[in-house]
Structure 1
Amino acid sequence: MRKLNRIGGAAAIAAALALTACGGGGASGPETAKGQESGSDLSKLISINEKPASDLQQGGKVTLPLGNIGPDFNGFSNNGNSADNSALQIPMNPVAMNSGGIGGCWKVDFKGKVTPNPDFCDSVDSEVKDGKQTITIKVNPKATYNDGTPIDVKAFKNTWNILKSPDAGYDIVSSGAYEFVDSVEAGSNDKEVIVKTSRPVFPVDSLFFGLIHPAVNTPEIFNEGFNGNMHPEWMAGPFKLDQYDTAAKTVTMVPNDKWWGQKPVLANVTFRQLETSAQIAAFKNGEIDAMSANTISLYKQLDGTKDSDIRRGQRLFAGGLNLNAQRITDVNVRKAIFAAVDREALRKVRFNGLNWEEPSSGSMMLLPFSEYYQDNYPVKETGADAAKKVLTDAGYTANANGIMEKDGKPAAFKISNFGDDPTTLAVAQTLQKQLQAGGMDVGIDQRASADFGKVLGSREFDLSISGYTVGPDATDAVKQYYDSKVNENKLGDADLDKKIADLASIEDNAARNKAAMDVEKEHMAKYYSMGVVFNGPQISFVRTGLANYGPSLFQSTSQVPDWTTIGWVKK
C-alpha cells in the first residue's frame, strides 16, 4: 500500500526516502547530487551510519519529529493512510504496518527484495496447480499480540475478510490481491495458515504485508475505533506505547517486555508533532535528533548546527499533482491543469540551491532508476496556450476577467498547501501562476502540517501538491491508484479494471510490471487524476553519533532500517 506524503520541508521524518551518501555543504548549499536512472548501483545510495549493535550504547533516547500525529491511527483506512502514521507506529506495531520496509509476514531490503520476516512468519511457500494457487504460511510459534492473543490463522482470516472488498463497509485504501483469495484456513494447527486463491497472485508478498488483529472485526471498529486511540493492546513489536500526550502532542514508547524477537538498543523513543519552523529550533537546541531539510531555506538554517551530520539521498516519493476529481469534475479542466504545468520550472523552484538534478519522472508507481520504469505523463504539449486550447476545444470561452468558463461555470479551484516552509509555498504560488496563465481561477488554501491527514483522507481539497511513497513493484500501486472500485477518485472503467485484475496473475516480474505501467499510461491519458512533477532529494540532518538511521531506500520509508538496532555509538 502506498502512503500519502506532503511534498517536503521538514515535514516529517515520515517522508518517503532517499538515495545517496553523506553530503557536506556550506553557505552555498549542499554538494551536487542527482537522481538516478536505470542501471545505477543502488548500494551507493544508503547513508545510515551503519554500526553493529555491539558498538552501540545500551539504552539512551531518540526524539524525532512528525508533521502530524493522528487523529486516526488505523493505517489500513483512508483517514489513517499517511507516512507520518506509518513512521509513528512501526516501532510498536510492525505486525500491522503495511509500508516502511516491514509489515506482517514480510520485510524488504534496500534494493527492494522481499523475504519472509521471521519475527512473524517462519516461511511462506506458494504452489500453482490447475490455474489455482495454494500458499502455505508457517507462523512464528512465539508471535503474540500485546493482549495475549496469538498471531495465527484468526488474524490472517480477519485481514482477508476486511480487505477483500471495498463493498463490505470498511473504509479500506485498497483491496489489493485479497479479492482473489477464496479461503484462509488452518493447516495442521492454527499456526499453519493455508491460503487458496481463485487465480494465481503475484507477487506473493502482495498478501499479508500487514495483519489486522481479530478484535477489529466490524466496520464501526475499523472506521471509527482508532480515532484518538492507538489501541496498543492490539499491537506487537519491539517497543510498546508508554504515553500519548494529546496536549503536548507527543508519543513516548519503551521496550516491549512481551517482545520475543531481538531486543532494542534504545530505552526510549519519542515522537513530537511539530510544524517545520518549530522543528528547526528544536533540532538546533538539541530537543530532537533528526529532521528533514529538503529545501534550501531549511538547509541553510540548519547548516553548521553543532554536533550534526548530513545524510543525503533521494526520496522514494512521486507526486506533485494530486487532483480531487470529485470536486474538479470536468476531465477537460483536469487535462488543462496537466497541460498548463511547467514541471521543469516547478522543479527549479523546489530544488533551488540544493544542487539536485533528476530526470523528469512520469510515473506514480516506479522511480526512474527502476528497471521497469516508463514515462507515462499524458501531456506532451504544455504551457498556457496549450491549456487554453484544451479548454477551448471543450467549449470553454474567456469571460470578462479572462477566466475560461462553460455554461456560466468558470474553471476555478484552490491549491491546498500544508506547513509553513517558504519553499513549499513558493512551489504552490508558482503552480498557481502557471494555472492562472492557462485561463483558470486558482487560489491557495493554506493549512497547517497537522491538517494533512484529515484533509487528504476526507477529500477536503481540490488540488494538493502531494504524492505517495514509491515501492519496488507496481502491482499493488496500480490497483490502489487506477482501479475504478478502489481509487479515491472513483475514476476508471471496466476495461482497465479487467487489465488490472489480470496482471496480478502474471508471475514474471518484468512482464507484470510492464502490464501495470501500460495501465497507468492509459488511465492517465483518459482521466488525469494524478501526475508527477518531481521525486526529489532526501536531506537529513542527524545528531552526530546516531547509528543506523538515514536514507535507506526500500528498506525503510521512515529512515530506520531496524528499530532494534538504532542507537548511539559508544563514546
Structure 2
Amino acid sequence: MKNLTKIGGVAAVAAALALTGCGGGGATTSAESAKAQDASGDINKLISVNAKKADELKQGGTVTLPVGNIGPDFNGFSNAGNSADNTELHYPIDEAGYVGCWKLDFDGTSKLNTNFCEDFQSEVKDGKQTITIKINPKAEYNDGTPINADTFVNTWTMLNGKNKDIDIVSSGAYEFIDSVKAGSNDKEVIATTTQPVYPLSDIFGGFIPQAVNTPELFNTGFSGEMHPEWMAGPFKVEKYDSAAKTVSMVPNEKWWGEKPVLEKVIFRQLEASAEIAAFKNSEIDMADGRTLTKYKQLEGTKNSEVRRGQRLFAGGLNLNAMKAPLTDVAVRQAIFTAVDRPAVRAVRFGGLNWEEESSGSMMLMPFSKYYQDNYPVKEAGTDAAKKVLTDAGYAPNAKGTMEKDGKPVSFKITNFGDDPTSLATVQTLQKQLQAAGMEVGIDQRGDADFGKVLGSRDFQLTISGYTVGADATAGVKQFYDSKTNENELGDAELDKAIKDLASIQDDTERNKAAMEVEKKHMAKYYSMGVLMNGPQIYFARTGLANYGASLFQTPDWSVVGWQK
C-alpha cells in the first residue's frame, strides 16, 4: 500500500504506499550538488541520518518534529487516513499497526521484525501455499489485549476486500489468502492461499486490532480519535491536543522491545512558513528544505546541519478521472502530452543543485534494478496536446478553449499550503496546460486539508503522488487493478496479469511483469504520471541521531536521540 504525499510533505514507507505531495526557481543557494542515481549508482550517496549506536547517545531529551497535517483521520489503512504524515506520526507509537512483521533496511531489503513475529515460514505444495507464523509471546496492545492469531484473522478479514463497505486502500495480497487460523496455540498462525503470494513481506506488515471489526468503526471510528489503547510501540501517546495540533509521546512502560533513549517526542502540525520560523527559533528539531524558498530561509540557522538524500516519491500528475472533464481519456492524454516535465522540475528544484532525468514509473525509483521508463508520451508539447484533443473531436471556442459538445476543457489544479515554490510549480503546470487550449484555474487549500481532500477525492488535478517501495508487487495492484485503484480504471486483461504476477517467486521476473502492466495501463488510461522524484533535504538540529534521509529504512525509534 502506497501512502499519499504532497509536494511539501515528508515521505515515509508503510505497508500501503502513501499519498504524498510535491512541495523555486531563479536564485541559487550554497546547497551541496547532488543528483539522482540510476541502477548502476551508489545509493549510499542518497542516505544521511547521522547514524549512531545506542551507547553513543545521551539518555533522555526531547525531539520535536513538524508534520503537514495531524489527522483528522488516524486509520492509515483507510483511504481517509492514508497519508505519509499519518505514517510518520504513528511510527514511534504504533509499530504494531505500521510495521508489523517486517522491517526494511536502507536498500529496501526486508527482515523479520521479531518484536512481533519470531518466525515466518512458507511452503508451497501442489500449487497451494501454507504460511506459518510464530508470534512473539510478549506482544500485546496497550490495553492488554494479546496480539495473537485473532489479530491476524481480523487483519485478513478487514483487508481482503470481500466486504465492499470497508474503505480500504488496497486488498493487496490478502485477496489471495483463503484461510487464517490459530495453529498449535494462539501465538501461532497458519495461513493458506488460493495461489502462492510474493514477496512475503507484502502481508502482515501491520495489524488491525481485533476490536476494529466493523466497517463503521474502521471507516469513521478514527476520525478525531487516535485510539492509543489499540497501539503498541516504544512510545505511547501522552496527549493529543486537537486545538493546538500537537501530539506528545513518552516511553511506553508496556513495551517489550528495546527501550527508547528519548524521554519525549512531540509532533506539531505546521504550515511551511510556520515550520521555518519554528526551526529558526529552536522550537522544532528538523525542517524540510526541499524548496528553494524554504532552503534559503533555513540556510545559516545556528546549531543545524543539512541532510540530503533521495526522496522516495513518484508523481506530480494525480488526475481524478471520476470528475469531468477528466473523465475523458483524451483530456487526460492531452494533459500528459502538454506538460514540459523538465521545465516543471526546473521551477520545483531550482537553486537546490539537484539533477535528475525524467522518471517513468509510479512504482519503482530509477535506481532500482527492476526499473523501466513507462511514461506513455514520446512526442510532447503544446501542438501535440492540441492534436490529441482535435483528433478526439474537440475544437477551440470563441475564447480559444478546446471544447466538445459545448463543454470546454475546464478544470482546476488544487494546491496545498503557503510555500511560494509549491505555488510557482503549480502555476508553471497551469500555464503549460493553458497553452494547449485548456482553461485551468487554481484551487488553493491549506496543508492541513491535504488528507481530507485527497481521501474524499475532492479535486480534479493535484501535483501529488505516492511513496515508492522497493518492490512493485503491491504498487501494481494498488495503482492499476480496476477493482483497487481510486479512478476505477483498468480491464480484465490487466487485472488477470496483476493476479498472475503475484505468484511469481523470482523477484526479477515478478517486477518485470509488474512493469509491463504499468506500461500498458499508462498508455491506455493516463491516470497518474511522473513529473518528478526529487531530493530529500532536511535541516536537522546538530546532534540529532538516526533520523533524516533514510531511503527505505524503517525508523528505529529506540535509537532516535541526541549524540553524546
Normalising by the residue count of structure 1, what TM-score does the alignment of the two structures yield?
0.95
- Give the Cα separation in 1 of the matches to 2:145 and 2:293: 49
| d(CA) in 1 for partners of 2:137, 2:339 | 54
- The answer to whether the aligner puts 1:506 opposite 2:500 as a matched pair is no
State whether structure 2 residue 298 is matched by structure 1 residue 298: no
CA contact (8 A) 2:28 2:350 kept: no
Instruction: Return the match for 1:563 from 533, 557, 564.
Output: 557
Q: Deviations over 1:495-553 (max 9, x none)?
A: 11000000000000000000000000000011100000000001100000111111111
Q: 1:270 is matched with which residue?
A: 266
2:409 corresponds to which residue? 411
- 1:167 deviation in Å? 3.9
Residue 86 of structure 2 aligns to a residue whose secondary structure is helix
CA distance in 2 between counterparts of 1:384 and 1:51 reads: 51
Q: Summarize the Cα distance change of 1:493–1:167 in structure 2 as closer, same or farther, 3 Å threshold.
A: farther
Q: In structure 1, the residue corresponding to 2:111 is in which secondary structure?
A: strand
For 2:31, the equivalent position in structure 1 comes to 30
Aligned to 1:20: none
Matched to 1:41, the amino acid is: D
Counterpart residue number, 2:528: 530
Aligned-residue sequence identity (percent) comes to: 69
Matched, 1:197 2:198: no
How far the C-alpha of 1:436 sits from its partner, in A, is 0.4
Q: Which residue of 1 aligns with 2:451?
A: 453
CA distance in 2, matches of 1:130, 1:244: 51
User: Counterpart of 1:222 in 2: which secondary structure?
Assistant: helix
Please name the residue that 1:151 is paired with. 147
Provide the residue aligned with 2:22 in structure 1: none
1:71 is matched with 72
CA distance in 1, matches of 2:54, 2:354: 34
**Secondary structure, in 3 states, of the residue corresponding to 1:69?**
coil
Residues 66-102 of structure 1: CA distance to partner in whole angstroms, max 9, x if unpaired? Answer: 00000000000000000000000110001111xxxxx
Contact 2:412 2:440 in 1 (8 A): yes
Matched, 1:231 2:232: no
1:7 partner letter: I
Partner SS, residue 137 of structure 1 = strand
Q: 1:393 to 1:13 in 2, by over 3 A?
A: closer
- Worse-matched range after superposition: 165-174 or 316-325: 165-174
2:63 aligns with 62
Q: Find out whether 1:353 has 2:351 as its counterpart.
A: yes
The alpha-carbon deviation at position 117 of structure 1 amounts to 0.2
Among candidates 477, 480, 483, match of residue 479 of structure 1: 477
TM-score normalised per structure 2: 0.96
**CA displacement at 1:43 relative to structure 2:** 2.9
Q: 1:272 to 1:166 in 2, by over 3 A?
A: farther
> 1:16-165 alignment to 2 at 5 Å?
28-97=29-98, 103-165=99-161
Aligned partners of 2:290 and 2:197: how far apart in 1? 38
Shift of 1:297: 1.2
Cα distance in 2 between the residues matched to 1:92 and 1:52: 21
Matched AA of 2:76: G
State the alpha-carbon separation in 2 of the partners of residues 264 and 39 from structure 1: 37
Match of 1:22 in 2: none
Aligned CA RMSD, in angstroms, stands at 1.3
Looking at structure 1, the residues matched to 77 and 426 of structure 2 have their Cα atoms a distance apart, in angstroms, of 29
Query: Is residue 5–residue 468 contact of structure 1 (8 Å, CA) maintained in 2?
Result: yes
Q: Deviations over 1:438-483 (max 9, x none)?
A: 1101000011000000000000000000000001000000000000
Q: Which residue of 1 aligns with 2:23?
A: none
Matching residue of 1:183:
179
In the alignment, does 2:465 pair up with 1:464?
A: no
1:377–1:271 distance in 2 versus 1, CA, 3 Å: same
Select 1:218's aligned residue among 214, 217, 220: 214
Matched, 1:241 2:216: no
Provide the rounded CA distance (Å) in 2 between the counterparts of 1:519 and 1:113: 23
Q: Matched residue of 1:553: which SS?
A: coil
SS of match in other structure, 1:3: strand
- Supply the AA of the counterpart residue of 2:42: D
Counterpart-to-counterpart distance in 1, 2:547 and 2:493: 44
Distance 2:553 2:213 in 1: 31
Equivalent residue letter for 1:355: N
Letter in 2 for 1:78: N
| 158-167 vs 62-71, which moves further | 158-167
Match of 2:314 in 1: 318
On the 8 A contact 1:478/1:500 being kept in 2, the answer is yes
Distance 1:356 1:368 in 2: 15
What amino acid does structure 1 have at the position aligned with 2:66? P
- Residue 449 of structure 2 aligns to a residue whose secondary structure is helix
SS at match of 1:402: coil
Offset of residue 485 of structure 1: 0.5
Instruction: Report if the CA contact (8 A) 2:28-2:352 is conserved.
Output: no
SS of 1:445 mapped into structure 2: strand
1:408-439 deviation line (CA, Å, top 9, x unaligned): 00011100011111111011000000000011
Asked if residue 389 in structure 1 is aligned to residue 383 in structure 2, the reply is no
The residue type equivalent to 1:306 in the other structure is K
Quote how far apart the aligned CAs of 1:56 are: 1.1
Counterpart in the other structure of 1:551:
549
The alpha carbon displacement at 1:44 in A equals 3.4
Where 1:498 maps in the other structure, the secondary structure is: helix
Q: 1:422 aligns with which of 396, 420, 423?
A: 420
Deviations 1:155-180 (A, max 9, x none): 10001001111643100000001111
Count of residue pairs brought into register by the alignment: 551
Provide the C-alpha distance between the structure 2 equivalents of 1:122 and 1:30, rounded to a whole number of angstroms.
Answer: 44
* Equivalent AA in structure 2 for residue 563 of structure 1: W
Q: Sort the Cα spacing of 1:14 and 1:494 in 2 relative to 1 into closer, same or farther, 3 A.
A: closer
Counterpart Cα distance in 1 of 2:244 and 2:285: 18
- Equivalent-residue separation in structure 2 for 1:280 and 1:437 (angstroms): 35
8 A contact 1:153–1:191 mirrored in 2: yes
1:464 alignment partner AA:
T
Q: Indicate conservation of the 8 Å contact 1:162/1:168, yes or no.
A: no
